[in-house]
Structure 1
Amino acid sequence: MEQLESPTQPVEQTGFAALGLPARILQAVEAQGYEEPSPVQARCIPALMDGRDVLGQAQTGTGKTAAFALPLLARLSRKERKPQILVLTPTRELAIQVAEAFERYASKMSGFRVLPIYGGQSYTPQLRGLERGVHVVVGTPGRVMDHLRRGSLQLDGLRTLVLDEADEMLKMGFLEDVQWILEHVPDAKQTALFSATMPPAVQRIAEDHLNNPEVVKIQAKSRPADTIRQRVLRVHGPHKLEALTRVLEAEPTEGVIAFVRTKNQAAEVADALEARGLSAAALSGDVTQANREKIVDKLRSGRIDIVVATDVAARGLDVERISHVVNYDMPMDAETYVHRIGRTGRAGRTGEAILFVKPKEQRTLRMFEKSVGAPMEPMRLPTAEDLSAGRVERFRARVAESLEAKDLPFFEELVESMLAEQDGESEGEATLSPVKLAAALARMAQADAPLQAQPEAPRHQGRRDQIEWDEHQGNQGVRGSKKFDRGGRADRFEDRGPARERGPRPKREVRPPERGMERFRIQVGYQDGAAPGPIVGAICNEAGLEGRHIGRIEIYDRYATVDLPSGMPEEIFERLQRTRVNNRALRLSKERGPSHTPAKFPAKKQKRVEAEPAPQERLHEAREEATEARQPMTNRERFEAGL
């Protein structure tokens, strides 16, 4: 008799897969460590996938970028190498951040191209990128207008327009620019507007330019409990494990949860902590339910102290003894952050929340601070003295616990016999004191884990090879992103480091400047956190030079020297006197020493390929420069823009 096959039950999809995203997008999402969509993503992705307009009201840090980037990438045609998606952002920082997000989410899409365009950057790389062809353009309103007027940005193939942080764009004076752009893009397009608030001007734009939109309104979760102390530790990515180890050794912890982004990281970090003598376990999607229960039970009973977990695996984890939550990896949005740190500070107990922040995550930190309603307390990386103090405190606690042990009488008799034997054998010699014997036993017990941490070699605050980074240098990596900005001469300078880090320095041969160059001294050095990149950027911006016109840079502890073309006009010299790097004036002066025959100082108009921006273009660029710091454009800035 022929057997009939039983129908297979369809596998129920969960997470991002349930939203209808294609496999190539899901793979990229998984690589980022995202397992469950946030509320705004769960609502927006299906609507945008269906081609509908979306009006989203959600606070900063709720995952808006992925909410529109993922579905728009899913509908993108890579064969057509012309702008199909245009995203308008209020600041160049956000433009770069959104462009980088598109690139990450499209990591499995070969041939994909995205280009950020914003004021303050040379037109040349932007024109070159547009000429080669891109699929997505992310830009600030002023520079987008300029390219549309030039004809360098063609939107005949545009499918979707996204207005990100619309209320911020209007606050910064871009209302007319946004309206102009809306009037010059194709009518048959999909439009998505995201805004934290809905002032009348934003509502009018939505009514005039959105067609029967899907309205998504997400209420931000409540702020963290007052019993949680929130701190931020600025740390370079490669040194996060070292920083975590120091924090765990120096802090008076009980139970600790360290959140990471992926399950592979959970296993790697937990293994590394175990290898360093800390009791840790990984909790991720790869852990079976039985093992999960064992790990949680060990954490609850104190048999392990540290759990390294992903967000999904930590769901439902409620252990009273959690004293610290460490955000080893930055959470994807503010709601996730609040949810993570809510696992400490419960039932009237105080808790500690520590957030590791890499230089490129400084803007995300500000978003989180805005969401929680208060700045986070800066945290200093524990020193060798802090580590020693923490180890001694834990040793004292173990000794106090041992004093309550049931088998203590046996060891008391053993010690007494050792003291008696020593007294009988040491006639005429110093007797063995109980203190000395206790010290010897303590040393034996800690032979593999010394209580005294080795002192560190002195490090300078401005050095980039150290674990921490200075918050005042945090934004330099944004505009200087190697992914999008043209590498300048600064990339080729040698970073010598401060003198005290290298020990006594032999007298260095001072080489004269090259022909046609003069040497100048600036009053910014390593002690001020100076580095070649910011120096080059400041001089190029103020003097109208290109990086190739700047010669050798030598950075010392209290000052630096830089070789510039001879014949500098007086007005540029005075301007550079007032120019600031790391909030310190350069106070430019000619360095004494040999120089060569003067050459003509390069004029500002010596920029290749570029045409002089029209007055209206200079207005937009000057406005973006002024509003970048959330300040209205001053009359002086208008004058310098030639208006």
Structure 2
Amino acid sequence: MAADLVIAESAAAGPVAAVPVVPRVVDVSALMPPEFAKLGLGKALLQSLIELGYTEPTPIQAATIPLLLAGRDVLGQAQTGSGKTAAFALPMLQLLDLSQRRPQVLVLVPTRELALQVTAAFERYSSGMRDFRCLAIYGGAAYQPQFSQLNRGVHIVVGTPGRVMDHMTRGSLDLAGLRCLVLDEADEMLRMGFAESVEWVLSQAPEGRQTALFSATLPAQIRAIAQQHQRNPAEVTIVQRAAAADTIRQRYVVVSNHHREAALSRILEAEPIDAVIVFVKLKSTTEPLAEYLCSQGHRAAALHGDVAQAQRERIIEQLRGGQLNVVVATDVAARGLDVPRVSHVINFDLPRGREAYIHRIGRTGRAGRQGEAILFVHPRASRLLSSIEHAAGQALEPMPMPTNRAVNKKRVSAFHEAIVRALEDPQRETLQSIMQQFQRERPELEAEAILGALAVMAQGGRQLLSREELPQVELEDERGRRGGPGGLRRGAPGFSERGGDRRPGFRDRGARGERGFERGDRRESRESRGAFRSEREQGPMQSFRLEVGRVHDVRAGSIVGAIAGESGLDSGRIGRIDIFDDFSTVQLPAGMPPEIFQKLRRAWVAGRQLQISELGDAEVRR
């Protein structure tokens, strides 16, 4: 990947924007980068880099490491994947006094995922440093383990602004011995609303410390922070011409708003998937979309910023191990997600910018594997498609909507495979004897008719063959909107006059909504609903109590996912869910087998076991 390196030395402290020296621009791709040994790193760190397979520093590392080792403040602009973590982690490790077991380096990051990722990097690089201790602190995790480790002493703390501020006000995090403060992904922290927390932490840190600030962009607010809290910083800018990995095939499919969910399910069936990450803009979309996919027979789960860390780790392990095939995620929640078996990334919603798009599709095509990236495009979003192609550095292939013929072929093939697997089931011989007895008792029924009835039972009420063809839609000229099958239709079934899908959590993102790629993500205006109602009659239902409630930050979608995942029950057959302070109630089909409840009692949601039990009428409270 080609890159341009710009180093600007400011003549004196003051606004960074007013640097009097003309930056020198070097095409780093035309030069042989210096070896790590020439950057001033010690033997222990060099040995760790050799063991990790590092051979040459990236441009940001070559430019930044000597500056930080010399004690300079640094204002660094570098994109995701540029190697900036090593650019600050290596010199920070070099400058540590391991005999002083107190926080000497504080790294502020926007998310817990990045906190864990940066902490893991420090631990990898420090493999040759005895008694080194690094701690990640972030919201959503229990306080007591963090208190214990801080009391025992750590050299480096990596944390999110809110939790760091909380520990500082409690007195459990003492920065008196701080030597360096690093802001990683500073623009992301500000975008997420951490500006006041970041400013407060910076204002409380010792005045003589070294400060390094890294950001993908340098808006005025970032430069204002640098001006106020840095001393004569060296500005390092790595301008990377973003491009996706050669191992990723990028395609787009044109789909109108009212076919998006059905199109997603159809693509998941027709494509040769292993594991899939579906990216959406808003966390309120993740759970309803995951529930919809579960109702269509996909093993799906939602991943967003409110998912507890233990549950997040469980979801990732299930994706890694094959218990889940689809994760519906927001950009923030997917940071640091590295699962080699992810074969497809689907952009259900447009990303908010170029780097977000590259980061998203970079979740596939890893470990030398071929990856697939699919982008959903509205019929009137041809200009936005051009913007994304510019960001990707290549044209995206048009992808036709999978036809009924293709989908049904895959369904029949999967049905045949399920029959073959069932032949090996220990229950087969017993059930076969029962069916033989049934045939003797009902000789008027033909064997083929009985086989057909068993196949219907195996489908659990779902149609095996798809009968509704989704339209093949083409991009329209934005200057002459023609309408047609891909255009917005007033009064379309299931839509309001404003064009939005009435189902909770799904929002219309027509030609106006697609502008998010250029204008940035919008904040959510409200939380997801607290109860889920079945959309069709389910037959006799029974009420059950779950030992998890509002105080545990549980959501209805999480309960649906846990029950469907553990029991194999179609999520569409899960009835009303009511969430109370310390427990919840759910309606499930009456007469389910006891072994299902044994599994559900052991299922975990929001860090607690469901402990499902029958609910008497007197217990139901409104």
TM-score range, shorter chain: 0.3 to 0.5
TM-score normalised according to structure 2 size? 0.42
Q: Pick the structure with greater CA Rg.
A: 1
